[in-house]
């Protein structure tokens, strides 16, 4: 069997690099120039493919049908978690009770027999597992297809949900080695949820689903926006065209209520509560910071036009839920066990230490013929990963707008999305819901799943062939 060559960035050999990487300022090495040059040279009608990777909070699954290449991924990832790395300050304290560590490739069996609640008691190992499983699926798929590349043919874009998903995309693109990737994943999931030397605060992360126009029964009004005027300056500064008013995440307060989206109404109410909490902070003399007894919550993740994730102190999140339910704006769907209140300013205390860790990591520059890795925080290509990954602590994850920009305007146009692993299946479901809202006549967009080394379409095709062959064999026996 031909075993695909795993890129050198996945090898277990140590990469000699300075303790702090000096980011290149050469424009030729930035993703922006790569994107623009690709757009200029692309042929008319050329289409692209985007791989979507799951993030922390998704349900991890052990890929089936292992191959030599995927087993090597598990071996390397397992060894990396148990090996200190002074370059980035990675230590192995707390790994003695991880379980299965005495077995080579022990991390592959991490989720077996464990519930999601049990897995999130060790979010550091689970985060590394989610990253490793996606890379293992890619390696297995390419080996079965006889390819020497880690990425499927025609892949032009990579996008990951949250920090772990984006980290996976960087590893898959060859810009970060696997060992450093799993170590970073564990460091991220091991950050303290509260400032040091303070009373620990309980936090809560909840998924909410918006009610369409809350109590209004009027249908959705859609008016196709006029085409934006050509602007050379915009094309040079931003490969993505401006988002139209129908897709922007903020609408004017003067917009008629019936035409304002439910999501914006939800965000308005959350902002109103935030102003109340800030006033309470001023009264208590905390100077606008989050004190040990202060409340705070925010919409940390916008997954789609109807789904958002609210994170904050436990009582503040309950206040948000109560307010939105009273106004008939949204319903809570489920709580998500997260080790920290990510994507909120409650994680400001972790910025200095985590910035130092990221600056010590070595990231390769993007290659002109390599895939574009999207930043779900800014919705633009990642040029400096050590800078782009830091906002995942306190900034809002704009997953909805990232996907919208991907299927609306990049060069080449993305006409196919592929979710990697069972944990990313939910990303495909949300994407299908958003694509249905596009105007009639839009370019068709396909969505498929890459699970356990083969896509669902490939499995169905194989099953159909198997059924046909069995019927043919049965007919032959009857004719004898």
Give the residue, 231 or 268, on which the prediction is more confident: 268
- Helix, coil or strand: residue 374: strand
* Residue 157 contacts residue 374 (beta carbons within 8 Å): yes
Q: pTM (2 decimals)?
A: 0.78
123 pLDDT higher than 90: yes
Which band of pLDDT confidence, cut at 50, 70 and 90, is reported for residue 257? very low
**Residue 100 DSSP SS3:** coil
The span from the first CA to the last CA of the chain, in angstroms, equals 37
Structure tokens at 6: 């795993």
Q: Structure tokens of 173?
A: 């693109």
> Which regions of the chain carry the CATH code 3.40.366.10?
45-193+346-460
Are 9 and 175 within 8 A, CB to CB? Answer: yes
pLDDT at 187 over 70: yes
Residues 6+ apart with CB under 8 A from 429: none
Short-list 207, 192, 202, 395, CA closest to 313? 202
The pLDDT tens digits of the residues spanning 388-428 come to 999 999 999 999 999 998 888 766 789 999 999 998 999 99
**Which of 171, 258, 183 lies closest to 222 in space, CA to CA?**
258
Cα torsion through 416, 419, 424, 426, rounded to 10 = 30
Structure tokens belonging to residue 330: 């949204």
pLDDT of residue 472: 75
- Own/partner pairs for 363-366, CB < 8 Å, 24+ apart? 363/21, 363/170, 363/175, 363/176, 364/9, 364/174, 364/175, 364/176, 365/24, 365/29, 365/30, 365/175, 366/29, 366/30, 366/31, 366/34, 366/173, 366/175
Q: Which of 71, 57, 183, 61 is nearest to 111 (CA)?
A: 61
What value does the mean pLDDT take over residues 236-257? Answer: 37
pLDDT of residue 221: 32
User: How would you label 140-157 residue by residue, b for 16+ Cβ within 10 Å and e otherwise?
Assistant: bbbbbeeeeebbbeebbb
What is the phi-psi region of residue 65: left when phi exceeds 0, alpha when psi lies from -120 to 50, beta otherwise? left
Which strand (E) or helix (H) includes residue 168? helix 162-172
Q: Which residue has the higher pLDDT, 320 or 6?
A: 320
Where residue 59 falls (left for φ over 0; alpha for ψ -120 to 50; beta otherwise) is: beta
CA distances from 339 to 119, 124, 177, 229, 330 (A): 11, 9, 25, 46, 25
- Measured CA to CA, the distance from residue 445 to residue 428 in angstroms comes to 12
Given a cut of 60, whether residue 20 has pLDDT beyond it is no
Alpha-carbon torsion (180, 56, 458, 413), positive or negative: negative
Q: What does the alpha-carbon distance between residue 335 and residue 299 come to, in Å, rounded to a whole number? A: 14
Radius of gyration of the chain (CA): 23
**Mean pLDDT in residue range 210-223:** 46
Give the confidence band of 193 by pLDDT, cuts at 50, 70, 90: very high
Written as six digits, the tokens of 213 are: 């126009």
CA–CA distance, 23 with 384 (Å, rounded to integer):
7
418 in helix, strand or coil?
strand
Rounded to the nearest 5 degrees, what angle is found at the Cα of 280, between the Cα atoms of 276 and 283?
A: 140
Cβ atoms within 10 A of the Cβ of 425, count? Answer: 17
- DSSP assigned state of 58: B
Share of residues in the chain with pLDDT > 70 (%): 73
**Cα–Cα distance measured from residue 310 to residue 300, given in angstroms and rounded to the nearest whole number:** 6
8 Å CB contact between 47 and 415: yes
Higher pLDDT, 27 or 92: 92
Chain centre distance of CA 128: 14
The model's pLDDT over 194-210, given as tens digits with 9 standing for 90+, comes to 998 888 889 999 999 99
**Crossing angle for the helix pair 351-359 and 178-189, nearest 10 degrees?**
180
Please name which of 207, 160, 143 lies closest in space to residue 419, comparing C-alpha atoms.
160
CATH topology of domain 45-193+346-460: Malonyl-Coenzyme A Acyl Carrier Protein; domain 2 (3.40.366)
pLDDT band with cut points at 50, 70 and 90 for residue 11: very low
CA angle 24, 28, 33 (to 5 degrees): 115
Write out the two tokens for 416.
């196919």
């Amino acid at each position: 069997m031909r075993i695909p060559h795993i890129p050198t960035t996945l090898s277990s050999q140590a990469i000699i690099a300075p303790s702090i990487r000096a980011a290149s300022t050469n424009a030729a090495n930035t993703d922006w120039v790569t994107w623009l040059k690709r757009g200029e040279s692309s042929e008319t009608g050329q289409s692209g493919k985007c791989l979507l990777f799951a993030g922390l909070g998704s349900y991890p699954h052990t890929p089936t049908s292992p191959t030599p290449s995927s087993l090597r991924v598990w071996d390397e990832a397992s060894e990396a978690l148990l090996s200190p790395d002074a370059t980035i300050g990675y230590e192995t304290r707390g790994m003695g009770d991880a379980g299965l560590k005495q077995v080579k490739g022990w991390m592959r069996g991490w989720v077996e027999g464990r519930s999601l609640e049990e897995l999130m008691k060790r979010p550091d190992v689970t985060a590394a597992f989610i990253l490793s499983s996606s890379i293992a699926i890619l390696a297995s798929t390419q080996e079965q297809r006889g390819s020497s590349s880690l990425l499927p043919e025609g892949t032009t874009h990579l996008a990951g949900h949250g920090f772990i998903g984006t980290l996976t995309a960087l590893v898959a693109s060859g810009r970060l080695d696997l060992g450093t990737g799993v170590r970073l994943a564990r460091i991220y999931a091991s950050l303290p949820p509260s400032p040091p030397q303070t009373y620990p605060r309980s936090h809560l992360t909840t998924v909410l689903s918006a009610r369409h126009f809350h109590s209004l029964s009027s249908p959705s009004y859609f008016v196709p926006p006029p085409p934006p005027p050509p602007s050379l300056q915009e094309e040079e500064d931003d490969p993505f065209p401006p988002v139209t008013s129908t897709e922007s995440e903020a609408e004017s307060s003067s917009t008629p209520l019936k035409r304002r989206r439910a999501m914006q109404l939800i965000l308005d109410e959350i902002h109103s509560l935030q102003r109340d909490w800030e006033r309470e902070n001023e009264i208590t003399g905390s100077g606008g910071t989050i004190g040990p007894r202060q409340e705070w919550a925010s919409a940390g993740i916008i997954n789609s036009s109807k789904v958002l994730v609210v994170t904050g102190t436990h009582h503040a999140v309950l206040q948000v839920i109560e307010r939105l339910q009273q106004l008939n704006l949204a319903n809570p769907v489920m709580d998500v066990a997260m080790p920290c209140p990510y994507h909120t300013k409650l994680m400001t205390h972790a910025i200095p230490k985590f910035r130092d860790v990221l600056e010590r990591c070595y990231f390769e520059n993007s290659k002109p013929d390599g895939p574009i890795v999207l930043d779900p925080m800014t919705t633009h290509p990642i040029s400096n990963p050590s800078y782009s990954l830091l906002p995942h602590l306190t900034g809002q994850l704009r997953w909805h707008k990232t996907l919208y920009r991907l299927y609306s305007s990049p060069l080449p146009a993305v006409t196919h999305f592929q979710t990697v692993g069972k944990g990313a299946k939910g990303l495909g479901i949300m994407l299908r819901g958003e694509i249905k809202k596009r105007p009639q006549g839009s370019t068709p967009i396909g969505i498929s799943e890459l699970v356990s080394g083969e896509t669902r379409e490939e499995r169905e095709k194989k099953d159909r062939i198997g059924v046909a062959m069995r019927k043919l064999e049965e007919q032959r026996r009857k004719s004898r």
